[in-house]
Structure 1
Amino acid sequence: MDLTIKRMHAIFDSGVINNELWLGQSRQREFAALCEIMGWLGAFDYALHSSIVDHMIATDALFNHASPRQLARYRDEALCMRRVYAFGCTEVGVGTDVRHVQTQVTYDRKRHCLILHSPSPQACKCWIGNALRAAQVVMVIARLTVDGEDQGHHWFRVVIRKRENGRLQDGVRVMACDPKGGIHANQVAAIRFDQMTIPVDALLQRHAHFTEDGVFVSDLPLNERFIDSLKTFLQERLLFMAGIRHSAGLAVHLGYRFARHRLIHTADGPTPLLSQPLFRQRLYAIQLKALALKYLEQAVRKRFEAHWAQVARRKELHILAALDKSVGAWMGLDALALSRELCGSQGFHHYNQIVTQRIDCEVANTFAGDSSVMAYQIIRDALTRQRFVDSPPNNIGQYVEAKIVSQCSEAAGYSHQQAVGIAYARALDLIIQEVESQRLLDGETLADLVEVFNSQLHPWLEACCHTLSRRATQVQIKRLAGLLKPPQALISAPIDKRDYIRKFTLPLYEEQ
């Protein structure tokens, strides 16, 4: 955990990533580079990746909701990580259902201050990255009460420690969420606020503030404050997708390298595992899934870059982010699990990177919103804004979406399977558009890529092609391996090298 924070300081000190590279900020032209670097960090160490995202989401909340005066005061400390920030959104009782957070902030008129309180165990902020020991500032979303009236959702900048790893302020209690299933190097904690006194300017004041006389003023109507508070829940989903996409790509690469080195015995003598058709069929399908993730991320990111400045299209971007996050998590975890199986017992070894990446990335289905809930948002949008009223579907992804929408309209509701199906169908549509517009793959390879979606879309397909077994040649697999190859600096697994068996067994041959 301490090493993670040290690495974060080194990264932010270098200026290679920070919130200025987010869309809407001064270096937004470098957003694609930010996603790529965050992807590399995810493949290197998903705990480091998630810890950095935790800090940057909190900084984004500051950027979105602080007044110009507050931003001038706190911008550099957050941007350069002179103070470690945590993102205090999730509560243990409601998860990421932000509308129903219970954390309360009450205005104390006599003392002209605010009282921050967790009114029940369900209201404790939970799974808060960086918070256990390092974070000095937590960006807290809570409901504000003034003179007995509920003023809705607001963000607060709450100092919980005066220095990194220092003593907690009065009114704050912190508990580790360990033992976690993965990302062990992220300081994930639960936080209880117990009648904590915070200054009135802890309230982020872009749209609301208290006058010196204690009058609460907001330029947003009450019914708009919750929607406004959600501004920060978009771009970080693309960063999570980048992390799991690169993690999956690394795992698939290691499966390919292992198959080149691993020798099996045949009638013709020792031969690489990659020579076996049945193995190649498995590997080829996983390569195609990793490639699909790459093109999905690319397609969504381009739309964010093109339309971010158009506020009227934020709803559309929200759905794209939900799509990117949910399908990215599902397909990425699938690719990681199957890559681990490809490598047999070596795939289960910690130092070969795959199983540790799989365990760490398990959290991807929870971080930044539950993947299934994301799919429900996607299908509700599809039913509300039907895309094929005036023009017919023109690829298989669009065809499946139209079919599911028709089924749901007749039934006046939708099932979980239909929600997941429409998420995959929209993802496939984006991938096909990206591949065809940029001429990224030949027609046969694109047809193979489409086929790996059959397991999710088969209820709505009239017939499924089965070309993977025929196309899984050594030449094709080598070609895809070149498209997926990660930077060598990310690879530390012994199975990447031809002499991995000698190194693995070396202690047995050393003189005692």
Structure 2
Amino acid sequence: MDLTIQRMHAIFDSGAINNELWLGQSRQRAFAKLCEIMGWLGAFDYALHSSIVDHMIAVDALFNHASPRQVARYREEALRLRKVYAFGCTEVGVGTDVRNVQTQVTYDRKRHCLVLHSPSPEACKCWIGNALRAAQVVMVIARLMVDGEDQGHHWFRVKIRKRENGRLQEGVRVMACDPKGGIHANQVAAIRFDQMELPVDALLQRHAHFTPKGVFVSDLPLGDRFIHSLKTFLQERLLFMAGIRHSAGLAAHLGYRFARHRLIHGAGGREPLLRQPLFRQRLYAIQLKALALKYLEQAVRKRFEAHWAQPQRRKELHLLAAQNKSVGAWLGIEVIGLSRELCGSQGFHHYNQIVTQRMDCEVANTFAGDSSVMAYQIIKDALARPRFVGSTPTNLGQWVEAKIVSQCAEADGYTHQQAVGMAYARALDLIIQEVEGQRRLDSETLGDLIQVLRPPLHAWLDAGADSLSQHASQKQVVRLAGLLRPPRALVSAMIDKPDYIRQFTRSLYEEQ
């Protein structure tokens, strides 16, 4: 963990990456290069990649929601990593369901200050990268309470330590989220705020502030404040995609190199494993999926670069980011897992990188938004705004999208599998457009690439194929749970208990 922070300082000192390279900032022309470098870092060390993203997401929240005066005050420390930042969004009780966060900041009129509080164990900020020892600043999203009225979601700059690795400020309790399944070198923590006193200017003030007389003022209607608070949840998903697609590409490369070096006994004597047709069939499919990730990332990034300055396109970009994130996670983890199998026992060895990448990237389906929830957002939009009314689809991805929309219209709803199919269909459409626009692949290779992406689409070639969704009644699920119930002695997981959140956060409430 300490080495990760040291590497972060070296990288930020070099100027190779920082938030100035994000879209909308002064060096946005280098955004493609930023994505490429972040991809390399993801393949090198996914924990380092995620730690850097954690800092930069927090800084993006500062830049998006702070007043010009506040940005000027904190800009250099954030850009140059003079202070390590953490991103305090997720809560243990609601995950990434940001609308229902419980953390509260209350205005104390008598003292003209703010009081930050976690009102229950469910409200503790959780899985907060960099926060365990290094972070001095946490960007916290919370509900602002003024004179007993909920003023909605706002961002706050909260200083939790005076110096890196220093003592916590009064009113802050932190515990490790270890042991984790992967990204062991990211200082992931849970945070409890206990009546922590903050200055009034801890509130980010681009759209809201308190007057010297204690009057709360906002130029955003109450109903718009939640949506506006989500502005920072877009570009991070592109950086995430860059990391996982490079990790998948590395794994596919190692599978290929292993097949060239590994000698087996063939008809003509010892020969490379790569000469075996059955092995090549497995490897080729993996390479095509890794290549699909590359073209998907490029297609989404280009649209972000072209349309970021157009506020009216922001919803479209949000859906592209969701699509990029969900399919990127699913396909990336699949490529890494299949590559591990290609290399046999050598693929299971830590120093051969692949199994380590697989462990680290397992978190990909969870952070930056749950992949399945991202797919639900995509299909909701597709049903609300059908793309192929009065027009004919021109490729398989578009055809499957139109088919799913038609099926859902008849059923007046959608299933999980239809949502997954829609995410893959739209991703395939983007990949085909990107490949055809670049003219980098011959028609046969493009056909093969499309073929390996057909399985997630296959159910929608038959309107009656999704019997699983129809049979997944609560009664049936409970029945199967009974058939699968393990011996009591085998179960030690906290989540087996209804009070698992209180068990998980216990150390935040114990007397010191």
- TM-score, length-normalised on structure 2? 0.90
Match of 2:395 in 1: 395
Tell me which moved more, 262-271 or 195-204: 262-271
Matched residue, 1:409: 409
Q: Secondary structure at the match of 1:43?
A: helix
Question: How many angstroms does 1:127 deviate by?
Answer: 0.1
Partner Cα separation in structure 1 for residue 242 and residue 73 of structure 2: 31
Offset of residue 263 of structure 1: 0.4
Residue 192 of structure 1 aligns to which amino acid in structure 2?
A: R
- Counterpart of 1:306 in structure 2 is 306
Give the corresponding residue for 1:232: 232
TM-superposed CA distance for 1:2, in Å, is: 0.2
Point out 4+ residue stretches in structure 1 off by more than 6 angstroms.
none
**Any idea what the Cα deviations from partners look like across 1:462-496, whole Å, max 9, x if unmatched?**
7xxxxxxxxxxxxxxxxxxxxxxxxxxxxxxxxxx
The corresponding residue for 2:330 is 330
The whole-number CA distance in structure 2 between the counterparts of 1:388 and 1:35 is 32
SS at 2:338 equivalent: helix
SS where residue 115 of structure 1 aligns? strand
Map 1:81-96 → 2, pairs under 5 A = 81-96=81-96
The corresponding residue for 1:64 is 64
Amino acid at match of 1:230: L
Give distance in 2, aligned partners of 1:440 and 1:390.
Answer: 31
The letter of the residue matching 2:336 is L
Residue 193 of structure 2: aligned partner: 193
Q: Distance in 1 between matches of 2:266 and 2:83?
A: 60
- Measured after TM superposition, the shift of residue 367 of structure 1 is 1.0
Q: Separation in 1 of the partners of 2:294 and 2:330?
A: 14
1:136 matches 2:136: yes
Displacement of 1:56 in angstroms is 0.1
Q: Distance in 2 between matches of 1:273 and 1:267?
A: 13
Q: How far apart are the structure 2 equivalents of 1:3 and 1:407? A: 52
**Residue correspondences, number:** 463
The one-letter code sitting in structure 1 at the alignment partner of 2:452 is V
Q: Equivalences for 1:277-316 in 2 at 5 Å?
A: 277-316=277-316
1:455 CA displacement = 1.1
1:272 aligns with 2:269: no
Q: Supply the distance in 1 between the matched residues of 2:44 and 2:209 (Cα, whole angstroms).
A: 43
1:50 has 2:50 as partner = yes
* Counterpart Cα distance in 2 of 1:212 and 1:38: 43
How is 1:78-477 mapped onto 2 (pairs within 5 angstroms)? 78-461=78-461
* Equivalent position amino acid for 2:272 in 1: P
Determine the C-alpha separation between the residues in 1 that align with 2:290 and 2:356.
18
The equivalent residue for 2:508 is none
Code of the aligned partner of 1:417: Q
Distance 2:352 2:135 in 1: 32
Q: Deviations over 1:14-72 (max 9, x none)?
A: 00000000000000000000000000000000000000000000000000000011001
Residue 267 of structure 1 and its aligned partner are, at CA, apart by 2.6
Gap regions ≥5 residues in structure 1: 463-512
In structure 2, the residue matched to 1:24 is 24
Q: Deviations over 1:342-374 (max 9, x none)?
A: 000000000000000000000110110000000
**Secondary structure at 2:23 match in 1:** coil
SS at match of 1:209: strand
Q: Which amino acid counterpart does residue 24 of structure 1 have in structure 2?
A: G
State how far apart, in whole Å, the 2-side matches of 1:210 and 1:454 are: 55
How far apart are the structure 2 equivalents of 1:264 and 1:72? 63
Cα distance in structure 2, aligned partners of 1:114 and 1:391 = 55
In 1, Cα distance between equivalents of 2:160 and 2:266: 64
TM-superposed deviation, 1:266? 1.8
Q: Deviations over 1:369-399 (max 9, x none)?
A: 0000000000001001110113211100000
* Cα deviation 1:189-211 (Å, max 9, x = unaligned): 00000000000000000000000
Distance in 2 (alpha carbons) for counterparts of 1:311 and 1:80: 29
Please give the alpha-carbon distance, in whole angstroms, between the structure 2 residues aligned to 1:418 and 1:305: 30
TM-aligned CA deviation for residue 280 of structure 1? 0.2
* Partner deviation per Cα, 1:408-450 (whole Å, 9 max, x = no partner): 0111100000000000000000000000011010000000000
2:114 partner letter: L
1:453 CA displacement: 1.0
The TM-score normalised by the length of structure 1 is: 0.90
Instruction: Give the CA RMSD over aligned residues.
Output: 0.8
**SS at 1:212 equivalent:** coil
Sequence identity, in percent?
86
Deviation at 1:460, TM superposition (A): 2.1
Which runs of 5 or more structure 2 residues have no equivalent in the other structure?
463-512
**What's the CA shift for 1:268?**
1.3
> How far 1:288 sits from its partner (Å)?
0.2
What is the alpha-carbon distance in structure 2 between the residues aligned to residue 175 and residue 380 of structure 1? Answer: 38
1:196-244: CA deviations, max 9, x gaps? 0000000000000000000000000000000000000000000000000
Q: Please give the per-residue CA displacement for 1:79-100, whole angstroms capped at 9, x wherever unaligned.
A: 1110000000000000000000
Q: Distance in 2 between matches of 1:9 and 1:226?
A: 33
Give the letter for the 1:342 counterpart: L
Q: Distance in 1 between the 2:437 and 2:454 partners?
A: 23
1:97-144 CA-partner distances (Å, limit 9, x unpaired): 000000000000000000000000000000000000000000000000
SS in 2 for 1:250: helix
Residues 326-347 of structure 1 deviation map (CA, whole Å, 9 limit, x = unaligned): 0000000000000000000000
**Match of 1:292, as an amino acid?**
A
